[in-house]
Structure 1
Amino acid sequence: MIDSRKLKKRDIYLKKLIAFQDTEPVKVITGIRRCGKSSLLKLMAEHLKENGILPEQIIEMNFESFDFKNMSSDDVYNYVKERIIPDKRMYLFFDELQRISSWEEAVNAFRVDFNCDIYVTGSNAYLLSSEYSTYLSGRCVEIKMLPLSFREFVYFYDFEIKETPSALGGTRRYAIDKNGERYDLRELFDGYMRFGGMPGIADVGLDLEKAMLFLDGIYSTVVIRDILEREKRKGQKQITDAVLLRKIILFLADNIGNSVSITSIGNTLVNEGLLENGSREGKPSVHTVQSYINTLLESYFFYEIKRFDIKGKEYLRTLGKYYIVDIGIRNYLLGMRNRDTGHAIENVVYFELLRRGYDVAIGKIDNAEVDFIATNTENKIYIQVTESMQSEDVRKRELAPLQKIKDNYEKIILSLDTGSDTSFEGIKSINLIDWLLT
């Protein structure tokens, strides 16, 4: 069992849960395995106890535990019913509930039969698929959890950000550890880009061998439990070929930030000799590749981003991109070597925008591309991401698409080396690490 006294806060998510406390909707926390969902439930339970809720009013069930193995939805209902305290509001916490067949019937019955507040986690988007919407339509709120942001990474590893006056005016940031040792922020960022943001790595420390073993466990669990062992579902192709699945995973991991189509993935796997076109099984069909990718999206392993025509104001059906949920998992899959830093930091920016509550698309304007259009109810930002702005050729390349956009929304370029200029005709050049820490 997780010791809640040692848990690090994940305030961005805990505040969302607290905001929905004692409201009718079922609170559903989704995200890849081991990103911190179980810990978040523990943090919420602690919050309740600290605010006057008695421990016996809280019922916690983790369906990864042997204690609840092989339960039916009826068993779950009866387990909870036996522990209900009459005339008290109950708080029900169900971890990895998708492992229980017909779980939605039990949850709906709890809503109807008892005075309760319900919290659920799941590691597969199928948890909220259309099949279940008839039970929970309008009665659930989804809180999408991700691995650690860079700011959270700094906090989880017990670093503290300090500021000191800069020789050229203004201030300069640095980090200190719990022993008072001083570190450049770029060192910490390089650690983040190497180890990624899966919270459990903080328990083993920044030890590469231990971290890779930890990430191997996450990878195996996602692939085996959430994909290869998933039950047959109506209208869904069963995933049975572990070799093909791994090849598709490696292809997507190696091509984060590149525009790809399902057809091109199948063709590339054949052309590079990763699949044998003349084999007994033959070349995988577009439908097969798509179904395998869908399972990777369902398990929150990869995220798909669509293209948006800025002038035509419409989403395009072709050539989206995929980003991997954690850069550490990518390093585990492909090995630790310096590669396409530009796409890797692009991957980090994409997920940071999701954390900040933006809807994100790729921008197309004429024949040019804007890395991200980030939109929320109040704002829109156009963003370019590049490793360095020192080269004049790079500056021209990154500025050109933004200069074509004639509206008045904010336009920024994020880089690890901004050069001396902070603005180009109203387009801001911002240090990526500073942006991640704001």
Structure 2
Amino acid sequence: MIVRKNYLELIIPFVDTEPIKVMTGVRRSGKSIMLELIQNYLKSKGVKEEQFIIINFEELIFEPYLEYHALNDYIEKKIAQTNLKTYIFLDEIQEVNHFEKVINSLRATYKSRVDIYITGSNAKLLSGELSTLISGRYVQFEIYPFKFLEYVEGRRSIGDNRSENDLFQSYLVEGGMPFPVFQNIQYRDRLNYLSDVYNSIILKDIIERENLRDPELLRRLLNFVLGNVGRTFSANSITKYLKNEGLKVSPTTILNYLGFATDAYAIIPLKRYDVQGKKFLASQEKYYVVDHGLRQAIIGRNEEDLELVLENIVLLELMARGYEVSVGKTNQYEIDFIAERKTETKIDRKYIQVSYLLASPETREREFRPLKEIADNYDKMVLTLDPFTSDVDGIAHVNLIQWLLDDNY
């Protein structure tokens, strides 16, 4: 099992504290692994396994507890069996109707006698009644598929001793969904698994949850988004595209469906930020996919669309490192990413351009020019697959693979 240090370092300070720990993320991204890692950490601190109540609501054995009264009775009986503190782990909690009533009742009834951890595959998990009931009493962590460094660690753990460059070639097409990383299975079987995950997201987390009337529209729309990750487009442009494909749909419906897919963590929208004007722009977001392996499984072309996929990989890495990310605009130039996170003492901001290779002076100028337009002193970086790099005017030129392998960059 890979120790996901980025997330554990964020979660551990909240262990044995009042806030409910909520982990959200796309289906099969490793949320269950995080619960196991937390349990292992607790055991290392002397907590006994009998103090754990562990329920995964996707397992058939727990189907009787999908009714919230039954779930509450089951957990209370388990708590009563020990005088020690109880650690409650509820995986994919959104499967339980009115689960928020159970969570709030346990918190209010047992207070410091329980420590509660829940996971879910929808961003709306903390909206509505749950947010109202536990407002100010929870802390949320978004869990993403494996970063490249974790992918390498996973492959090494099962005896894959290929070079990091060769592993990156595999990562480009397979992505970071945890399960296939630990399997010595054929490429086709990996893609079949990823296709099944994607279809499960579509069916369970979007179509069924939102009661969509037009599943075919959703699939066609997401195929368009997958094919255009990192490209700027609007609801109106998608409407025109689908009209040419024989589908009549309004921009409002497009925006609603994109919102449902975002809530299910299938896609990631990025707003555009005007560096000079210091404001977010109202139109033409960019969309990325939560795992580029899903893109390969559904539409292929990752190796052909290399620049787009490299951007997607960099975005996922930045988000896993705890950055809030937007797309930049300065004068007439676009900046691939503006990444920002706040520490106790400062704002950590980076301006990042992503390219395959700086194969010509024209390409080099194109990638460095937008960063030269920025007047502040925050870090500026161009990431490429060039084996040899050279900085320009204080702008770092960094090998992308080495950047992915070093969290300190």
Superposition TM-score, scaled by structure 1 size: 0.88
Q: Alpha-carbon deviation of 1:101? A: 0.9
* Map of 2:94 onto structure 1: 98
Indicate the RMSD between aligned Cα atoms, in angstroms: 1.6
Q: Alpha-carbon deviation of 1:10? A: 2.0
Q: Is the 1:374–1:380 Cα contact (8 Å) retained in structure 2? A: yes
Q: Given the alignment, which residue of 349, 353, 359 partners 1:384? A: 353
* Map of 1:358 onto structure 2: 323
* Map of 2:122 onto structure 1: 124
Change (3 A) 1:105 1:209: same
Q: Given the alignment, which residue of 386, 394, 405 partners 1:426? A: 394
* Map of 2:382 onto structure 1: 413
CA distance in 1, matches of 2:310, 2:129: 37
CA distance in 2, matches of 1:268, 1:38: 39
Q: Given the alignment, which residue of 72, 75, 78 partners 2:73? A: 78
Alignment of 1:191-340 (within 5 A): 191-205=170-184, 207-230=186-209, 238-271=211-244, 273=245, 275-276=246-247, 283-336=248-301, 338-340=303-305
Structure 2: gaps of 5 or more residues: none
Q: Alpha-carbon deviation of 1:9? A: 2.3
Q: Quick one: which amino acid aligns to residue 212 of structure 2?
A: I
* Map of 1:26 onto structure 2: 20
* Map of 1:38 onto structure 2: 32
Q: Quick one: which amino acid aligns to residue 198 of structure 2?
A: Y
CA distance in 1, matches of 2:191, 2:95: 27
Alignment of 1:46-57 (within 5 A): 46-57=40-51
Q: Quick one: which amino acid aligns to residue 236 of structure 2?
A: T
Secondary structure, in 3 states, of the residue corresponding to 2:385? strand
CA distance in 2, matches of 1:131, 1:109: 13
CA distance in 2, matches of 1:430, 1:382: 13
Residues 369-419 of structure 1: per-residue CA shift (max 9 Å, x gap): 111111111311111000011211111111111111111111110000165
Q: Is the 2:20–2:138 Cα contact (8 Å) retained in structure 1? A: yes
Change (3 A) 1:371 1:336: closer
Q: Alpha-carbon deviation of 1:205? A: 2.5
Q: Alpha-carbon deviation of 1:331? A: 0.3
Secondary structure, in 3 states, of the residue corresponding to 1:146? coil
The structure richer in strand per residue is: 1
CA distance in 1, matches of 2:387, 2:251: 42
Aligned residues: 398
Q: Alpha-carbon deviation of 1:38? A: 1.1
Q: Quick one: which amino acid aligns to residue 370 of structure 1?
A: I
Q: Quick one: which amino acid aligns to residue 381 of structure 1?
A: K
Secondary structure, in 3 states, of the residue corresponding to 1:311? coil
Residues 100-120 of structure 1: per-residue CA shift (max 9 Å, x gap): 111111101101111100000
Q: Quick one: which amino acid aligns to residue 12 of structure 2?
A: I
CA distance in 1, matches of 2:253, 2:129: 22
Q: Is the 2:353–2:381 Cα contact (8 Å) retained in structure 1? A: yes
CA distance in 2, matches of 1:228, 1:383: 36
Residues 12-43 of structure 1: per-residue CA shift (max 9 Å, x gap): 22333222101111000111111111122122
Structure 1: gaps of 5 or more residues: 1-6, 160-176, 232-237, 277-282
Superposition TM-score, scaled by structure 2 size: 0.94
Secondary structure, in 3 states, of the residue corresponding to 2:178? coil
CA distance in 2, matches of 1:211, 1:418: 29
Q: Alpha-carbon deviation of 1:240? A: 2.2
Q: Quick one: which amino acid aligns to residue 388 of structure 1?
A: L
Secondary structure, in 3 states, of the residue corresponding to 1:256? coil
Which deviates the most, 20-29 or 204-213?
204-213
* Map of 1:372 onto structure 2: 337
Identity of matched residues, % = 38
Which deviates the most, 184-193 or 42-51?
42-51
2:359 aligned with 1:394: no
Secondary structure, in 3 states, of the residue corresponding to 1:379? strand
CA distance in 2, matches of 1:362, 1:331: 24
Secondary structure, in 3 states, of the residue corresponding to 1:84? helix
Secondary structure, in 3 states, of the residue corresponding to 1:357? coil
CA distance in 1, matches of 2:105, 2:257: 34
The structure richer in helix per residue is: 2
Residues 172-196 of structure 1: per-residue CA shift (max 9 Å, x gap): xxxxx848x5x43221111100111
Residues 117-173 of structure 1: per-residue CA shift (max 9 Å, x gap): 0000001111012443111211111111000000000000017xxxxxxxxxxxxxx
Q: Alpha-carbon deviation of 1:337? A: 6.0
CA distance in 1, matches of 2:9, 2:395: 33
CA distance in 1, matches of 2:49, 2:293: 37
CA distance in 2, matches of 1:219, 1:408: 41
Residues 287-332 of structure 1: per-residue CA shift (max 9 Å, x gap): 1111111111011000000000101100111111000011110000
2:347 aligned with 1:347: no
Greater RCO, 1 or 2 (C-alpha within 8 Å, sep 6+)? 2
